[in-house]
């Protein structure tokens, strides 16, 4: 696979990366750019057809990729996938991208919906880190990158459960970075603002039928830069943070927000 980075910058040659939620959206873009920069990518997703589609796309372009079907909220499922991968090769990079959204205030959030958001967005990240941390410790190296959100630290309207979950991702990132620094394991997170993905398209169609154009414009204008981010822009930041060029960076949250925090 040719492309940017072929001169040695941000290369991931001989690295093995696991990308959860890699079958679509941001995860798809991360898997693709990692493969293009030399990594063997394991795409973990609940949707087997999406995961295999991304893996096939990467392989057809000359990259290395394998697909795995997994529900990250179920510990046994996660352990099965990681055991399978690590029987054959080490895991150098873990990207915790899998997650679900939720709209609602405290009063609009039933207990079962709160629990589901927690199970996927919080316990899913915990499960994946738990299942690979001993492996990384034994090798005394590794990179963990978590996908948080601007909702981790900004008060967004109607995002009670989602903000809870992403706040947990942010603080888990800080804790893991501190606890495993002596093992040469780096842990950072990215906090995107709104990103234009198939998930966002489906969400808008489902919740605002007949008002799609209006809502997309509203979402775009909520960022001072005047548009939503593209998945490939988040993926480029992920590539840097997982590369050797970022070897001095750990315990950091990187907003990629079109000026949301500072320029509103």
Specify whether the CB–CB gap between 196 and 230 falls below 8 A: yes
Asked if residues 194 and 218 have their Cβ atoms less than 8 Å apart, the reply is no
CATH 3.40.190.10: does it fit domain 16-193+230-253? no
Per-residue pLDDT at 229: 85
Contacts with 116 (C-beta within 8 Å, 6 or more apart), sequence order: 100
Tens of pLDDT, residue by residue over 75-115, are 999 999 999 999 999 999 999 999 998 989 999 999 999 99
E-assigned strand segments in the chain: 16-20, 40-45, 64-69, 93-96, 142-147, 185-192, 253-256
Who's near 57: CB < 8 A, 6+ residues apart?
32
Predicted local confidence at residue 7, as pLDDT: 62
List the catalytic residues.
162
The SS3 call for residue 254 is strand
Per-residue pLDDT band for 1 (boundaries 50, 70, 90) equals very low
Domain ranges of the chain: 16-193+230-253, 196-228
What is the pLDDT confidence band of residue 261, given thresholds at 50, 70 and 90? Answer: confident
Question: pLDDT tens across 202-212, in order?
Answer: 778 887 888 88
- Name residues whose C-beta falls within 8 Å of residue 71's C-beta, 6 or more positions apart in sequence: 46, 77
pTM metric for this prediction: 0.92
Confidence band (pLDDT; 50, 70, 90) for 31?
A: very high
């Amino acid at each position: 696979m040719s492309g940017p980075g072929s001169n040695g910058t941000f290369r991931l040659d001989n690295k093995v990366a696991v990308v959860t939620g890699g079958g679509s959206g941001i995860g798809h873009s991360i898997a693709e750019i990692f493969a293009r920069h030399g990594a063997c990518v394991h795409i973990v997703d609940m949707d087997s057809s999406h995961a295999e589609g991304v893996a096939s796309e990467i392989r057809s372009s000359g990259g290395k990729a394998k697909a795995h079907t997994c529900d990250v909220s179920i510990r046994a499922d996660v352990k099965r996938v990681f055991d399978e991968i690590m029987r054959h090769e080490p895991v150098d990079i873990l990207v915790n991208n899998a997650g679900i959204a939720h709209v609602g205030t405290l009063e609009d959030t039933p207990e079962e919906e709160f629990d589901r958001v927690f199970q996927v967005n919080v316990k899913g990240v915990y499960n994946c880190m738990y299942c690979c941390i001993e492996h990384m410790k034994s090798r005394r190296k590794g990179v963990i990158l978590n996908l948080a959100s601007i909702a981790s630290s900004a008060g967004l309207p109607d995002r009670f459960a989602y903000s809870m979950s992403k706040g947990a991702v942010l603080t888990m990132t800080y804790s893991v970075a501190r606890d495993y620094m002596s093992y040469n394991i780096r842990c950072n997170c990215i906090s995107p603002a709104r990103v234009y993905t198939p998930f966002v398209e489906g969400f808008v169609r489902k919740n605002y039928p007949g008002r799609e154009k209006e809502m997309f414009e509203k979402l775009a204008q909520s960022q001072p830069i005047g548009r939503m981010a593209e998945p490939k822009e988040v993926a480029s930041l992920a590539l840097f943070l997982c590369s050797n060029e970022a070897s001095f960076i750990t315990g950091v949250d990187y907003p990629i927000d079109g000026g949301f925090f500072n320029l509103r």
